[in-house]
Amino acid sequence: MRGLSPDATDGVDRHATGELTVMLELSHFARRLPLALCCLLLSAAVVQSQKVMAQDAAAAQEILPGEPPFDCAKCHSRAEFLAGKTDTQEGDAALLVPDSIILASRHDTLACASCHPDQATIYPHEAPEGASRAVPCESCHEVQGTDWRASSHAVNVAEEGDAPTCVRCHGEHAVFSPEDRRSPTHPFNIAELCGGCHADPAIVGTYFAQPERVEAKAPVVQYFETVHGAALTRSGLVISATCNDCHDAHRVLAADSTNSRTNPDNIVETCGRCHVGIVETYEQSAHGVARAEGRRSLNDRPAPVCSDCHSSHSIVRADAQDWFVGIVEECGDCHAELYDTYSDTYHGKVTKLGYGLTAKCSDCHTPHAMYPPDDPRSSVHANNLVETCRRCHEGANENFAQYYSHANPKERTEYPKLFGTWLFMTILLVGVFGFFGLHTALWGLRLVIDRLRAAKEA
Amino acid sequence: MREPLSASERGEGPLYWRFSPLERTLHVLVIVSFMGLVITGIPLHFSYAPWARTLVRFLGGFQVAAFLHRVSAIIIFGYFLTHIGYVVYKLVTKPTLAERKAYLFGPDSMMPRRKDLEDLIQQFKWYVGRAERPRFDRFSYMEKFDYWAVFWGVTIIGGSGLLLWAPEFFSRFLPGWAFNIATIVHGDEALLALGFIFTIHFFNVHLRPEKFPIDLVIFTGRATETYMKEEHPLEYERLEREGRLEAREAPPVSRTLYLWSLVFGFAALALGLSLITLLIWTVLR
């Protein structure tokens, strides 16, 4: 008991004395000796534990305050010491940072002071006036810090609102590389991480320019239904695009920002980071060239980029039937006249019924390598047409390929034969229905008149 | 004026044969195949209509509808060839030239005559109260029109349908635009056919007050004396004059045949009227 405070010594003595007295009183009753022994052992254990606690308290007194660097782990690896240091249990728990966590993390070679320069030099840890409590990640991660400051995520960081700071996404002490399965920023975890806020109606409602667009179906929920999400969850492909692949990990910006990776002017480059071959084709296609030249469609829309046809958060497999059928409407948004004439064909009618079995725009015009029909590279150029038809109609020949896929029979000069047919059929229908309509109507009238007359006479 | 006379068993007097078992069977096939074609064809023609997807799904999907459409077409080609074969057979088995001529151009034939035009004009005069109602022989001009309309329809719709059925084959002989024309013709002719059958034919044969709600003669094959005198007086008088009336007398309709005729006839009528209502709504919408 040497070295213990007087208070502690007193306590132990009182206890020991009390127990011994009782024991002496009981010594006459030899049969109860075992019980007495048990009591003795118990009291000894109590004494020992109190002794240890008192030693810890004294040890803390000895090292603090003193000169830095402190041995942080001496306090921060002991839960019982940290208990009550903050107002909440969670706060206390956050202070508990055993060496094992740091050593297992990506930051295993860093000292506490590397990230907590102020705290490491001051005890008690209350920051002096004007000193920052923020963790200076940027001192090492400079590029990421700069990107993040330019992002939408940094917008309300000064007010310490809901802005996701470094630690919100990467964790505090258990920081892992994004390639590490345990990291919240690992491809398998990132959608859930982003969804923590972006699928939360309260946060979306507070910070988003068009919350109603997001709330209808949170993008994160939608993501898992997309081909990208399914590749991740069903096929286990970590190379599939996750939130950060398209939106950037740090320079996250709304699509209407010209610096955003998801801005229409930048999206081709963004998608092209993975879909290299497609973008190469696209950039040479009619759409890609028109986009590059800044030409606009008849209804004054810019040439389409990836996301115009493939949407963004509802990207589905291009061989899914629903997408097949839907894409025709997308093309029709700009190519209205071609859409109308297509809708008059067997191809178009079956598509309209929701079946992707007959030819759709991309089947004849290719999905990405579309060129004007007079371009020899075009799949619908006269030289290539038979081959294009043969993709479905194996027996197609020159005659077959002369079929007008986009004919308007009402255009007399362009399609005189079809116009003649249409005119003949229209006259025939109007003639027959007109004549027999009259025939039937007058007959009905005659019979009604006859019956009325007969009723009057009767 | 006439009393309502809506079915073969109505009216008075003995029954007379009007349609042979073959003719009745063929007409049932006409109805079945026509309905099959209409139901499987209109979702495609009106693919923009809100009900089109539902109907085609109800039929078992687009491929099933397409299959049933072709099955119905085969039935049509079947009855069409059967009828032509039958007519040719009857013609060549007639012993004399005079009989052959009578078979083709006589009052019992479907061949249009000068009298049909006169009847048509008289019918319109009757409408406006300027003439008596025209009196018809075995087939009125309306029945003849219906008959030839089927010929025209089967040729045009069936022919264009065949082109569209096997475009790769026919493109060996035909230019590509032939398929554009086939598409226009097939759809518009079909509209003409179903529009005509479900309104004009239905009114002329079943729905006009004297016959309302249904005329079962085509199913039972026999008509009453009253019916004959009202609808085909010239034929009745001709048979009477030639003493052939008794030979045409028919036994009463069996209860089974009557009930089947009633159920089938009303089902076809109801289906046709429902479809034409739907289509008129779709077009006017």
The verdict on a CB contact (< 8 Å) between B200 and A409 is: no
A421 interfacial to chain B (CB closer than 8 Å): yes
Option in A352, A400, A437 nearest B48 (CB): A352
A390 interfacial to chain B (CB closer than 8 Å): no
The verdict on a CB contact (< 8 Å) between A447 and B209 is: yes
With CA atoms as reference, the chain A residue closest to B177 would be: A403
Option in B174, B200, B208 nearest A399 (CB): B174
* B159-164 mean pLDDT: 97
Contacts of B179 in chain A (CB under 8 A): 403
Option in B47, B126, B172 nearest A349 (CB): B47
The verdict on a CB contact (< 8 Å) between B196 and A436 is: yes
Contacts of B184 in chain A (CB under 8 A): 409, 418, 421-422, 425
Who wins on pLDDT, B39 or A328?
Answer: B39
The residues that bridge with A388 in the sheet, in sequence order, are none
A437 interfacial to chain B (CB closer than 8 Å): yes
Question: Testing the interface with A: which of B132, B144, B177, B185 to mutate, by most A Cβ within 10 A?
Answer: B177
Q: What number of C-beta contacts closer than 8 Å exist between A and B?
A: 122
Option in A354, A421, A442 nearest B127 (CB): A442
Contacts of A357 in chain B (CB under 8 A): 62-63
With CA atoms as reference, the chain A residue closest to B46 would be: A349
For residue B248, what pLDDT is reported? 95
Contacts of B48 in chain A (CB under 8 A): 343, 352
Contacts of A403 in chain B (CB under 8 A): 167, 176-177, 179-180
Who wins on pLDDT, A21 or B97?
Answer: B97
For residue A154, what pLDDT is reported? 82
The overall pTM is greater than 0.90: no
With CA atoms as reference, the chain A residue closest to B43 would be: A353
For residue B5, what pLDDT is reported? 44
A430 interfacial to chain B (CB closer than 8 Å): no
* B250-260 mean pLDDT: 92
Option in A402, A443, A450 nearest B177 (CB): A402
With CA atoms as reference, the chain A residue closest to B56 would be: A353
The verdict on a CB contact (< 8 Å) between A355 and B184 is: no
What is the tens place of the pLDDT at every residue in B103-115? Answer: 999 999 999 999 9
Distance between B97 CA and the closest CA of chain A, angstroms: 37
The verdict on a CB contact (< 8 Å) between A401 and B176 is: yes
B137 and B234 Cβ atoms separated by less than 8 Å? yes
For residue B50, what pLDDT is reported? 93
ipTM: 0.94
The verdict on a CB contact (< 8 Å) between B177 and A404 is: yes
**Per-residue confidence in pLDDT tens, chain A, 458 aa:** 333 333 433 434 444 444 544 444 545 555 565 665 665 666 666 666 566 555 555 555 444 444 545 678 778 888 888 888 788 888 888 888 888 888 889 998 888 888 887 776 666 666 555 555 667 888 899 999 999 988 888 876 665 567 788 888 998 888 999 999 999 999 999 988 988 888 887 887 777 776 666 555 567 777 887 888 889 988 999 999 999 999 999 998 888 889 999 999 999 999 999 999 999 999 999 999 999 999 888 778 889 999 888 876 666 665 677 777 888 888 898 899 999 999 999 999 999 998 888 999 999 999 999 999 999 999 999 999 999 999 999 999 999 999 999 999 999 999 999 999 999 999 999 999 999 999 999 999 999 999 899 999 98
The verdict on a CB contact (< 8 Å) between B180 and A404 is: yes
Q: Which two tokens stand for residue B74?
A: 């085969």
* B164-168 mean pLDDT: 96
Using CA atoms, how far residue A126 sits from A62, B6, B205, in Å, is 20, 104, 102
The verdict on a CB contact (< 8 Å) between B188 and A425 is: yes
Question: Testing the interface with A: which of B123, B142, B173, B181 to mutate, by most A Cβ within 10 A?
Answer: B181
Distance between B176 CA and the closest CA of chain A, angstroms: 4
Contacts of B127 in chain A (CB under 8 A): 442-443, 445-446
For residue A40, what pLDDT is reported? 67
Contacts of B180 in chain A (CB under 8 A): 403-404, 407, 409, 415, 417-418
pLDDT classification of B100: cutoffs 50, 70, 90: very high
A457 interfacial to chain B (CB closer than 8 Å): no
For residue A25, what pLDDT is reported? 53
Question: What residues of chain A, 343 to 382, have a C-beta less than 8 Å from chain B?
Answer: 343-346, 348-350, 352-355, 357
Q: Which long-range CB contacts under 8 A does A398-404 form with residues at least 24 apart? A: A399/B171, A399/B172, A399/B174, A399/B175, A399/B176, A400/B167, A400/B168, A400/B171, A400/B176, A401/B176, A402/B175, A402/B176, A402/B177, A403/B167, A403/B176, A403/B177, A403/B179, A403/B180, A404/B176, A404/B177, A404/B180
What is the tens place of the pLDDT at every residue in B170-188? Answer: 999 999 999 999 999 999 9
3-state SS string for chain A: CCCCCHHHHHHHHHHHHHHHHHHHHHCCCHHHHHHHHHHHHHHHHHHHHHHHHHHHHHHHHHHCCCCCCCCCHHHHCCHHHHCCCCCCHHHHHHHCCCHHHHHHCCCCCCCHHHHCCCCCCCCCCCCCCCCCCCCCHHHCCHHHHHHHHCCHHHCCCCCCCCCCCHHHHHCCCCCCCCCCCCCCCCHHHHHHHHHHHHCCHHHHHHHCCCHHHHHHCCHHHHHCCCHHHHHHHCCCCCCCCCHHHHHCCCCCCCCCCCCCCCCHHHHHHHHHCCCHHHHHHHHHCHHHHHHHHCCECCCCCECCCHHHHHCCCCCCCCCCHHHHHHHHHHHHHHCHHHHHHHHCCHHHHHHHCCCCCCCCHHHHHCCCCCCCCCCCCCCCCCCCHHHHHHCCCCCCCHHHHCCCCCCCCCCCCCCHHHHHHHHHHHHHHHHHHHHHHHHHHHHHHHHHHHHHHHHHHC
Option in A353, A394, A407 nearest B62 (CB): A353
* Nearest in space to B163 (alpha carbons), one of B134, B185, B130: B185
The verdict on a CB contact (< 8 Å) between B176 and A403 is: yes
**Mean pLDDT of chain B, nearest integer:** 93
The verdict on a CB contact (< 8 Å) between A399 and B199 is: no
Distance between A372 CA and the closest CA of chain B, angstroms: 21
